[in-house]
Amino acid sequence: MKKIDYAIFDMDGTLLDSMHIWDTASGAFLMMRGIVPREFDLFRKQGYKTGISYMIDEYKLNMTFDEVLDGLQEILWFYYSNIAPIKDGVKDFLQSLKENGVKMIVATATESRMAKKALERNGILGYFEDVISMHEIGIHKNDPAAFEYVKNAMHAEGVGYVFEDALYAIETAKSAGYKVVGIEDYSNEDDRDEIKKIVDFYAENYEQVKEYFEL
């Protein structure tokens, strides 16, 4: 087995095949209110807070920021509670890491209650020391301190790997000195060539990840 003492996993696009919701949530919110959206992927393009402010201004919504946020959270809660699917091979890989004494944690931009619900429903929550929402702690993955915070949260030492699908987070993890496994997702198609140049290993699926770690 390749040396690995702890693992930091992203969730959306890495453990779960769930990036679709971030491409459709804003459009679904508007359509539920009888408004035809001109774009659907506001949150992936602009982020959560900026996307909400843009929606209010662009679509002349007679709603406060918090009212829009509450409506969107209802959509997201339903999705993570009932739909968000696990990626093929994830559970088998996590089980192999557990059997080899590897500490694991999740660092996600999604709210922790939603993330935990989705991971629990897919039968993998128990593999992780914790599930940390970067949004909730106020440190995001464009800041190397985010990965140090997560590492310290599980009292990890030794060789650590970050598993990520997003280019910006991969760049940050590498700048912080971590080994990185890039996970293929439809959402990172435009960045795929750049990701492959940066990561220690790029995987199209978790069977390839298992082979890389000689599990």
Q: pLDDT (tens digit, 9 = 90+) per residue, 150-194?
A: 999 999 999 999 999 999 999 999 999 999 999 999 999 999 999
CA 87 to chain centre: 12
In this prediction, residue 46 carries a pLDDT of 64
Per residue in 46-57, pLDDT (tens digit) is 667 788 898 899
Which domain, by its residues, includes 190?
A: 6-17+85-212
**Is residue 199 domain-shared with residue 186, that is, in the same domain?**
yes
**Is residue 154 domain-shared with residue 115, that is, in the same domain?**
yes
Burial grade of 147 (CB within 10 A; 0-12, 13-18, 19 or more): buried
The domain boundary, picked from 82, 103, 123, lies at 82
Amino acid identity of 106? V
Q: What integer is the mean pLDDT of 118-126? A: 98
Q: Could you tell me the CATH number of the domain that includes residue 154? A: 3.40.50.1000
In this prediction, residue 49 carries a pLDDT of 77
Taking the C-alpha atoms of residue 186 and residue 116, their distance in angstroms, rounded to an integer, is 23
Strand pairing category for 131-133 and 201-203: unpaired
**Is residue 115 domain-shared with residue 174, that is, in the same domain?**
yes
The domain boundary, picked from 29, 48, 82, lies at 82
**Is residue 78 domain-shared with residue 96, that is, in the same domain?**
no
Q: Give the other-Cβ count within 10 Å of 151's Cβ.
A: 20
Residue for token digits 């909730």? Answer: 136
The token pair that represents 124 in the structure block: 């993998």
**Is residue 107 domain-shared with residue 165, that is, in the same domain?**
yes
Taking the C-alpha atoms of residue 194 and residue 32, their distance in angstroms, rounded to an integer, is 38
Q: Does a structural domain hold residue 142? A: yes
pTM, rounded to two decimals: 0.92
Q: What integer is the mean pLDDT of 136-145? A: 91
Cβ–Cβ under 8 Å, residues 29 and 72: yes
**Is residue 77 domain-shared with residue 33, that is, in the same domain?**
yes
Q: Does a structural domain hold residue 12? A: yes
Q: Share the mean pLDDT of the chain.
A: 94
In this prediction, residue 115 carries a pLDDT of 98
94: nearest Cα among 134, 133, 123: 123
**Is residue 123 domain-shared with residue 181, that is, in the same domain?**
yes
In this prediction, residue 50 carries a pLDDT of 83
- pLDDT(66) > 90: yes
The domain boundary, picked from 45, 61, 82, lies at 82
69: nearest Cα among 26, 20, 101: 26
Q: What integer is the mean pLDDT of 8-13? A: 97
Taking the C-alpha atoms of residue 110 and residue 136, their distance in angstroms, rounded to an integer, is 9
In this prediction, residue 135 carries a pLDDT of 85
Q: Does a structural domain hold residue 1? A: no
**Is residue 95 domain-shared with residue 117, that is, in the same domain?**
yes
List, in order, residues 6 or more apart from 138 with CB less than 8 Å away. Answer: none
Taking the C-alpha atoms of residue 174 and residue 192, their distance in angstroms, rounded to an integer, is 16
- At residue 121 the predicted structure's pLDDT band, cuts being 50, 70 and 90, is very high
In this prediction, residue 45 carries a pLDDT of 63
**Is residue 150 domain-shared with residue 164, that is, in the same domain?**
yes
- Look at the chain and report how many structural domains it folds into: 2
The widest CA-to-CA distance across the chain, in whole angstroms, is 57
- pLDDT(142) > 80: yes
- At residue 68 the predicted structure's pLDDT band, cuts being 50, 70 and 90, is very high
